[in-house]
Structures are given as C-alpha cells and as structure tokens.
Amino acid sequence: MVSSGKIKVLSVVCSLALLLGACLLNGCVSPSESGYAKTEVTHTQGVSVEQAQAVRYDGPQARITVGDFQVKAAKAPGEIGDGLREMLVTSLFNTNHFIVLERQAIKDILLEQDLGASGRVIGETAAPTGKLEGAELMVYGVVSEFEMDASGSGISLGISSLPFNIGAGSKNCHMAIDLRVVDTSPGRIVFAARSKGQASDYNIKLGANIKAGNTRMPVSLGSFKNTPMEKAIRACIDRSVEYLVTKTPPKYYRH
C-alpha cells in the first residue's frame, strides 16, 4: 500500500512537471496549430504570401527565372541549394504574379526542339524552334546562415527518493537567404534582400527508472510532425516570395 507521504510527494512531482512545462512554454515558445512550435521571420511591407495566394491574381505578370542557389553557410549541407531552388520556383508560380521560365532543364527542351527539326517527328507534333521566351528578371540566392541548433536551454529536476526525474528543453534553429534580382538586359541588380526564418520547439520528458537492472524508459510529452529546421526553411522561402512579389518594380509587371 502506498503511504500518504509518498502520495503527497508524487503530487508535488506532478505539479512541478506542469510548472516546468508552463515556464518553458511562456519563456521560449508559444503553441501553434501544428504543435508547440513557433516560427519567427522578418517582416516586410505589403501582402503576405498567404494573402497573395488566397486571392487569385489575374493582373499583368513579370517574366522571371530562378538561377542556382549557392550554399555558403558552413553548417549547411551542399545539396540543400537544389531543394531551395525548387521550392522557390513552385512558390513563385503559385502566386500567379510571374511567368516562371524554365532554365534548369533548358538542355532537355532544346534537345526536344532539335529532334522536332530533324524530321524524325510527325510535323504537327514537333516542338517549333524560335518560340522560347526570354526572362527579364533572374533571381539568385545564397544560403548565408544555417544553424540546426542556434541556441537552446534545458532544465532537469530529480528527486532521489522517487523513481522519477523530470526534464525539459528547447531547441532553436534559423537560416538566412540572401537574394539578388537582376535585370537580364543591362545586367543590373534591381534589388537585394535578406530573408530569415527561425523556428523553435520544446519538449518535456518524464523519465521512469524501472526496477529491472539498468533499463530506463523515457516517456516523451512532446511530439512534432515537422522539425524546427523544416519550419525555418519554409518560412524563409515564404518570406523570399513575399519580397519578390512586393519589391519587383511595377514596370516589370506588363505581360
């Protein structure tokens, strides 16, 4: 039978666990719909990406293409550049503000046109030459910051008389992309901007030391569908698109 003294101590431990979670929640992050994670990004004037995509834009468009993304941040994996480029291309297309021109696979397009001109393809199905559109604007990106664990904090609470310990921690990630938009005719930079994304998460762990040798069973009280860095990357791309939509000079929106 569990004594009233132990019941009181267990009650105190549970109360401390709740208090510990509340401290981390109030001090580090705030809850969101997808779990206890917060995304922090820099802001700019104008409509957000969500607003731009919620109301379909049917006005004039700018002709744009996306160049390579260089990865210069020391802690960033080199292959992330291709993925960021693909995400930006898709997001720009979905705003309907831009005629997005393919340049990454231009060799395949030219090969198809050459095949059509060779006479080996049925005439009416052949891709004609001389129909490619030129891009007035070209976007370049550089991953200048990439921190998987930019900062973090943790708290651990143990009570020797009980088979429990309580721990909690937070993890902060961030990244930054430097954007350059170039007018392809004179080769001049139209504008440059830095897009930042930051995300945080936290979890509370209640560890139970099972009385069976040295076996330890951690019971996690925090579960996240996406990692903090995934959230930071998406925030960075969304902010980049917002910059491109709002800061592209009106004269380019003419198609």
Q: What is the model's pLDDT at position 97? A: 97
Among 78, 76, 88, residue whose Cα is nearest residue 174: 76
Entry pTM: 0.65
Q: Please check the confidence at residue 124 and state whether its pLDDT lies above 70.
A: yes
Residue 27 in this model has a pLDDT that exceeds 60:
no
Q: What mean pLDDT do residues 84-107 have?
A: 92
pLDDT value at position 217? 22
Please state the rounded mean pLDDT for residues 13-22: 53
- Give the pLDDT of residue 155: 45
Domain 4-106+132-252 has CATH 3.40.50.10610: yes
pLDDT at 38: 38
In this prediction, residue 150 carries a pLDDT of 57
pLDDT digits (tens, 9 = 90+) for 159-213: 555 554 555 556 788 889 999 999 999 999 999 999 999 887 654 444 443 333 3
Model confidence pLDDT, tens digit, residues 134-143: 999 999 999 9
Is the pLDDT confidence value at 62 over 70?
A: yes
Going by pLDDT thresholds of 50, 70 and 90, the confidence category of residue 230 is confident
> How confident is the model over 25-52, as a mean pLDDT?
44
Predicted confidence (pLDDT) at residue 70 exceeds the cutoff of 70: yes
